[in-house]
Amino acid sequence: MGLGGLLVGLFLVSAVLVGTSVRHGVSRAEPEPEPELELAEWDPASGAFPEDSLWPLPQSLRTSPRQLQLAPDRFQIVHGAGSSAGPACALLQDAFRRYYEYMFGYARWLQRGRKGLAAKPELAQLQVVISSPEPGCNGYPQLASSEAYRLTITEPVAVLKADEVWGALRGLETFSQLVHEDDYGSFLVNASEIYDFPRFAHRGILLDTSRHYLPLKSILTNLDAMAFNKFNVLHWHVVDDQSFPYQSIYFPELSNKGAYSYNHIYTPTDVHLVIEYARLRGIRVIPEFDTPGHTQSWGQGQKDLLTPCYSGKQPSGSFGPVNPILNTTYDFMTKFFKEISSVFPDDYIHLGGDEVSFACWKSNPEVKEFMKKQGFGIDYAKLESYYIQKILDIVSSYNKGYVVWQEVFDNKAQLKPDTVIEVWMGNNYVQELSSVTGAGFTAILAAPWYLDYISYGQDWKKYYSVEPLDFPGSEKQKKLVIGGEACLWGEFVDATNLTPRLWPRASAVGERLWSSRNVTDLKDAYKRLSNHRCRMLSRGIAAEPVFVGYCAHEARRR
Amino acid sequence: MGLGGLLVGLFLVSAVLVGTSVRHGVSRAEPEPEPELELAEWDPASGAFPEDSLWPLPQSLRTSPRQLQLAPDRFQIVHGAGSSAGPACALLQDAFRRYYEYMFGYARWLQRGRKGLAAKPELAQLQVVISSPEPGCNGYPQLASSEAYRLTITEPVAVLKADEVWGALRGLETFSQLVHEDDYGSFLVNASEIYDFPRFAHRGILLDTSRHYLPLKSILTNLDAMAFNKFNVLHWHVVDDQSFPYQSIYFPELSNKGAYSYNHIYTPTDVHLVIEYARLRGIRVIPEFDTPGHTQSWGQGQKDLLTPCYSGKQPSGSFGPVNPILNTTYDFMTKFFKEISSVFPDDYIHLGGDEVSFACWKSNPEVKEFMKKQGFGIDYAKLESYYIQKILDIVSSYNKGYVVWQEVFDNKAQLKPDTVIEVWMGNNYVQELSSVTGAGFTAILAAPWYLDYISYGQDWKKYYSVEPLDFPGSEKQKKLVIGGEACLWGEFVDATNLTPRLWPRASAVGERLWSSRNVTDLKDAYKRLSNHRCRMLSRGIAAEPVFVGYCAHEARRR
């Protein structure tokens, strides 16, 4: 991308100054490499490189210096000739309006009313053409959905072609990122040709609504940000030990007793709204109902579900994981997961299965007796697998696939071949990827992307520099890694700090999972990421700064 | 404080559960000690301890179980008999209304209209009595201002006594923290007797508006939060290398050229608004104009102010610290600090003096020549002190005191005895406090409270556990430590993340600087801090969570 250029107009990149020292002991902690001098950044007359604002970078991109002008009052996003989608495709109609707003909304408030300035050729339309006979307007995105698109920008009309609406959504995002404002408020786009598709099919964000309740608005805002970064899976870690905010239809006592309060719940309407808001942005919602551990809150509203712990010969009054030895447990789970399978349309449910403590099971005489009967000896991992396998069978019977945390694999539960294993343990994830895929299972990588862990400085570089396929294994094994997830566990996160903690740090993961493997230049990424975070800010996402500098529009909008 | 009680009503403390494991590898990083089981927290009928919501804890506090009831429609805060302040005291009038809103504002929206429930004795008034003949209504808070107050809460009226309005402001905050709502929406306060005063006179927050511009609104919101935590100094690090947002009256080119953009400036009106908003909350505003280093942005708008650096025998085109060898430099500084001394009413100005790199001075032949003439040899610290002393003399001539960073002391500049030295270097601050006070200088401690450094977990405990007087020295030396500052440098902070990054972490520093030395119980502090952060949230401060849990009102208010 040659010389460092300043994208004048919508964004100004972070300022870098000669002789700037990062103040006050940064050298003591984690030294920030001093960015190189880029004088051009102070020169508003310098040329803007259209690719300086793209995030994640498309797979293939050709741009020309030839600029086309867009007139907000005339420009239209329309269904192109031959498209299998038309005005009845509410998903696209909604997306057209949304992206029009992102591109021009701010300018319209200003009401510049400038109409006669067009010295450049005008781009009058973006025509969207869906080629598949089943465009997907009323469906849900799936693991196998096509997100590829081709975008050709020349006057008088640009054309966005995609197999399905999911690719069109990604292409609209890219188109909107290419449109920029010049110093005089004109909207420009460079003639360009883009062919793009994701490197990995599963690109997720994990939100945790149990350690802290997240108001609906926070979740929806996050879905917006996900779309801006081409993420396509919301992994909703909805319940855990601390609270049970999911309002069940069959078992209302679970949230009545297990939620923090009657205010801190997601009603069926809330849940449907999240799913629909996500669908309209091409995002799958995979709910996680983690058992048998992490279930303290379940026990509040469901009698006899958890294992009573013993202190010597007496029940201690506290409870451990789900009780795996009772038939009532499986009766409950059968009914509960029937509801979950019906409420959440995605093909997959996340069943958890992580961090099961055996201490309580070991203390309970009836569990010990059951172990003996089953011939498990003292291997409580066998009891855990016994439980998990019954749960997997229940969920399979509803025609759902399942994702589980890596311990389920590590503990050698018998798994259906299409089980997805999520690798989260940070100490040796490279080897784990090798083992999981070596055994023929599909894997999702989360371990290096636990964004709840914070540290001083530009930690996005660490997330960005992870190469998911850098593990020992065959080509066939590599193909089994279907993607990854940035996880924002909620111990220290609620609505007050979720957005700036997650964005733009998760953006680094977003590009790693979408763009080509060879897109690894940190300096180029820094420039694009700084612009991208300013754009997120202008679209209402309070993404934190990458480093020193400013966004052109931030002061006016607050 | 005995049994862990739940303050039902306004706040619910963070929930703690049996057998809760902190999920997913927290054990890999920084283990969080598991809070002990407090069953009472799940019992809404448990008694509320009024002190469970106080932050910072008063010096002396006696409360009784006897509860008084407040009727929002009738309760008044008024000037008491014998007060030297009356309705003409706009500062107090404003504070009365403000604290009325904090206590009842939310309830009034709900319009419960419950009038006949009073089964408890009613508290009808809070009478505020200022005893000094000069109450301070129109003045500015100073280092020597009295913030002591005495609060007596019995029916039918509570009395708040203070020498000056500054103490009354602190007492109003405490009173408002004692008023709480019960399960049925009644407002209650326990009969209490409080005598309170700050342990340290200087309790500051440093905000940095150069690395990122902070919109006025962010600064004002922060002043609100400071008042809730009894901080009394805003150390405004207004300019630095990256940008010069201060709009000077004498030298408008400084911000015209040195600000990020014309939007990213503080006009004289903005500055006056900050000062007045702070004054009304008993907060001093100490501006920092740091020289001779950290001045790259000054050079944009003031020709010949910075030292031209040389590369061999040629100027390199880049610039170093302020040029200390030119008369024009001192002419400029004389005029500039005349303006600053007049715009900012506080008795002190912060003159910086930190992190001066000598490389550029060393490269410049004219500077070398000057060193020779002055007999400085090759000791550039002498040149720095030469410069600093001239600046101190200029500022002294305007009858201002000054604060400087510790290097100015370390480099042995000749300082007036009343110079305040701010200790910031983290590696050996205990020894530095000893040296500074041993030489007879006043000290402010900042080193252990650099809140821009972040890490995973409850780092507030680290800040809380600092004891500022724990250094080798005489009683006389200890008295020279007048306080401390929590510093939020701006490299990675702007309006998107300032509030949750600063609060409630800075609250830990606030209590350390206000409360008695023996207030060090982390478990008790955890409970009070969790309640305090929920209260901040309910007053519009997006303070981040301390740990898992929830605030009763958070879901409704978003």
What's the confidence (pLDDT) of residue A116? 52
- Residue B33: cis peptide before it, omega within 30 degrees of 0: no
Can you read off the two tokens belonging to residue A296? 């303290």
**What type of residue sits at position B286?**
I
DSSP B518-548: T---HHHHHHHHHHHHHHHHHTT--PPPSSS
Chain B residue with the nearest C-alpha to that of A552? B261
pLDDT tens-digit profile of B264-323? 999 999 999 999 999 999 999 999 999 999 999 999 999 999 999 999 999 999 999 999
Q: How many Cα atoms occupy the beta-carbon half-sphere of A515 within 13 Å? A: 24
Q: Cα–Cα distance between A135 and A22 in angstroms, integer?
A: 52
pLDDT tens-digit profile of B432-476? 999 999 999 999 999 999 999 999 999 999 999 999 999 999 999
Chain B residue with the nearest C-alpha to that of A263? B555
- Residue A315: cis peptide before it, omega within 30 degrees of 0: no
Cα–Cα distances in angstroms (integers) from residue A453 to residues A463, A489, A493, A520, B502, in the given order: 12, 9, 11, 23, 18
Mean pLDDT score, A142-168 = 97
Can you read off the two tokens belonging to residue A466? 């992870």
Contact A213 B555 (CB under 8 A): yes
Contact A426 B28 (CB under 8 A): yes
Contact B495 A549 (CB under 8 A): no
- C-alpha R_g of chain A: 25
Interface residue of A491, A502, A534, A541 to substitute, partner B, most B CBs within 10 Å: A491
Q: State the DSSP code for A459.
A: T
Cα–Cα distances in angstroms (integers) from residue B227 to residues A120, A509, B205, B482, in the given order: 55, 40, 11, 19
Contact B19 A360 (CB under 8 A): yes
Q: A28-42, A228-242, A332-346, A388-402: which has the minimum mean pLDDT?
A: A28-42
Contact B241 A542 (CB under 8 A): no
* Local confidence band at B108 (pLDDT 50, 70, 90 cut-offs): low
CA distance A273 to chain B (A): 17
∠ CA B398-B401-B405, rounded to 5°: 125
- What ipTM does the predicted assembly reach? 0.89
Q: Pairing between strand B60-70 and B187-196?
A: antiparallel
Q: Cα–Cα distance between B222 and B245 in angstroms, integer?
A: 18
Residue B13 above 70 pLDDT?
A: no
Rounded to 5 degrees, φ, ψ at B512 are -60, -35
pLDDT tens-digit profile of B213-242? 999 999 999 999 999 999 999 999 999 999
The partner residue sitting opposite A548, judged by closest CB among B15, B37, B212, is: B212
pLDDT tens-digit profile of B62-99? 999 999 999 999 999 999 999 999 999 999 999 999 99
Kindly list the residues from chain B whose CB atom is less than 8 angstroms away from the CB atom of residue A25.
424-426, 450
Residue A103 above 60 pLDDT?
A: yes
Chain A residue with the nearest C-alpha to that of B218? A558
Nearest alpha-carbon partner for B450 in A526, A30, A452 = A30
The partner residue sitting opposite A495, judged by closest CB among B427, B452, B558, is: B558
- Residue A287: cis peptide before it, omega within 30 degrees of 0: no
Kindly list the residues from chain B whose CB atom is less than 8 angstroms away from the CB atom of residue A500.
496-497, 500
Q: What residues have CB less than 8 Å from B238, skipping those under 6 apart?
A: B209, B210, B245, B246, B266, B287, B288, B289
Chain A residue with the nearest C-alpha to that of B306? A19
pLDDT tens-digit profile of A510-532? 999 999 999 999 999 999 999 99
- Name the burial class of residue A366, with classes exposed (0-12), middle (13-18) and buried (19+) by CB atoms within 10 angstroms of its CB: middle
Q: Is A233 helix (H, G, I), strand (E, B) or coil?
A: strand
* Local confidence band at A225 (pLDDT 50, 70, 90 cut-offs): very high
* Local confidence band at A558 (pLDDT 50, 70, 90 cut-offs): very low
What's the N-to-C CA distance of chain B in angstroms?
Answer: 33
The partner residue sitting opposite A319, judged by closest CB among B19, B23, B550, is: B19
Contact A19 B493 (CB under 8 A): no
Interaxial angle between packed helices B522-538 and B216-228, expressed in degrees from 0 to 180 and rounded to the nearest 10: 140
Q: How does the average pLDDT of chain A come out, rounded?
A: 90
Residue B3 above 50 pLDDT?
A: no
Contact B554 A424 (CB under 8 A): no
Kindly list the residues from chain A whose CB atom is less than 8 angstroms away from the CB atom of residue B242.
15, 17, 20, 548-549
Q: A34-43, A140-149, A473-482, B132-141: which has the minimum mean pLDDT?
A: A34-43
Contact A550 B450 (CB under 8 A): no
A24: left (phi over 0), alpha (psi -120 to 50) or beta: left
Contact B492 A456 (CB under 8 A): yes
Q: Cα–Cα distance between B314 and B364 in angstroms, integer?
A: 9
Rounded to 5 degrees, φ, ψ at B243 are -160, 160
Interface residue of A213, A494, A498, A537 to substitute, partner B, most B CBs within 10 Å: A494
**Is the CA virtual torsion A53, A54, A57, A60 positive or negative?**
negative
Q: Cα–Cα distance between B195 and B536 in angstroms, integer?
A: 23
Q: Cα–Cα distance between A335 and A339 in angstroms, integer?
A: 7
Contact A362, A368 (CB under 8 A): yes
Can you read off the two tokens belonging to residue B533? 């952060």
Mean pLDDT score, B399-417 = 92
What's the confidence (pLDDT) of residue A184? 87
Mean pLDDT score, B339-363 = 96
Kindly list the residues from chain A whose CB atom is less than 8 angstroms away from the CB atom of residue B499.
496
Residue A54 above 50 pLDDT?
A: yes
Kindly list the residues from chain B whose CB atom is less than 8 angstroms away from the CB atom of residue A426.
25, 28
For the beta carbon of residue A450, count every other beta carbon within 10 angstroms: 22
For residue A355, indicate whether it is catalytic: yes
- Could you write out the three-class secondary structure of B68-80? EEECCCCCEEEEC
Q: State the DSSP code for B551.
A: -
Interface residue of B28, B261, B491 to substitute, partner A, most A CBs within 10 Å: B491
What's the N-to-C CA distance of chain A in angstroms?
Answer: 33
pLDDT tens-digit profile of B166-219? 999 999 999 999 999 988 889 999 999 999 999 999 999 999 999 999 999 999
Contact A550 B213 (CB under 8 A): yes
- Residue B292: cis peptide before it, omega within 30 degrees of 0: yes
Contact B555 A424 (CB under 8 A): no
**What type of residue sits at position A341?**
S
What's the confidence (pLDDT) of residue B555? 54
Contact B159, B517 (CB under 8 A): no
Contact B548 A491 (CB under 8 A): yes
Chain B residue with the nearest C-alpha to that of A257? B42
Can you read off the two tokens belonging to residue A503? 């964005």
Q: pTM of the prediction?
A: 0.91
Mean pLDDT score, A274-278 = 98
* Local confidence band at A414 (pLDDT 50, 70, 90 cut-offs): confident
Kindly list the residues from chain A whose CB atom is less than 8 angstroms away from the CB atom of residue B556.
263
DSSP B14-35: PP--TTPPPPSSGGGSSPPPPP
Q: Cα–Cα distance between A384 and A355 in angstroms, integer?
A: 11
Please name every residue paired with A194 in a beta bridge, in sequence order, or none if there are none.
A61, A151
Kindly list the residues from chain B whose CB atom is less than 8 angstroms away from the CB atom of residue A32.
491
DSSP A390-412: HHHHHHHHTT-EEEEEHHHHHTT
Q: Pairing between strand B348-352 and B401-405?
A: parallel
Q: A178-187, A548-557, B56-65, B478-487: which has the minimum mean pLDDT?
A: A548-557
The partner residue sitting opposite B296, judged by closest CB among A19, A360, A552, is: A19
What's the confidence (pLDDT) of residue B107? 54
Kindly list the residues from chain B whose CB atom is less than 8 angstroms away from the CB atom of residue A556.
263
The partner residue sitting opposite B215, judged by closest CB among A218, A544, A558, is: A558
Mean pLDDT score, A355-372 = 96
CA distance B153 to chain A (A): 32
Interface residue of B12, B24, B358 to substitute, partner A, most A CBs within 10 Å: B24
CA distance A444 to chain B (A): 16
CB contacts < 8 A (A, B):
230
Residue A20 above 60 pLDDT?
A: no
CA distance A202 to chain B (A): 21
Chain B residue with the nearest C-alpha to that of A544? B496
Mean pLDDT score, A153-164 = 97
Percentage of chain B exceeding pLDDT 90: 84
**What type of residue sits at position A516?**
S
* Local confidence band at A37 (pLDDT 50, 70, 90 cut-offs): very low
Is the pLDDT higher at B249 or at B47?
Answer: B249
Contact B274, B287 (CB under 8 A): no
Alpha helices per DSSP H over B78-157:
90-110
**What type of residue sits at position B292?**
P
Contact A204, A235 (CB under 8 A): yes
What's the confidence (pLDDT) of residue A12? 32
Nearest alpha-carbon partner for A274 in A373, A190, A205, A337 = A205
Contact A127, A160 (CB under 8 A): yes
* Local confidence band at B26 (pLDDT 50, 70, 90 cut-offs): very low
Write down the catalytic residue from A30, A134, A253, A355: A355
Q: What is the dihedral of CA A244, A249, A250, A251, to 10 degrees?
A: 30
Q: A40-54, A412-426, A453-467, B75-89: which has the minimum mean pLDDT?
A: A40-54
Chain A residue with the nearest C-alpha to that of B260? A550
Kindly list the residues from chain A whose CB atom is less than 8 angstroms away from the CB atom of residue B452.
456
Mean pLDDT score, B139-162 = 97
* Local confidence band at B35 (pLDDT 50, 70, 90 cut-offs): very low
Interaxial angle between packed helices B505-514 and B522-538, expressed in degrees from 0 to 180 and rounded to the nearest 10: 120
Is the pLDDT higher at B552 or at A333?
Answer: A333
CA distance B397 to chain A (A): 29
Write down the catalytic residue from B134, B276, B355, B369: B355
Q: How does the average pLDDT of chain B come out, rounded?
A: 90
Contact B491 A22 (CB under 8 A): yes
What's the confidence (pLDDT) of residue A526? 98
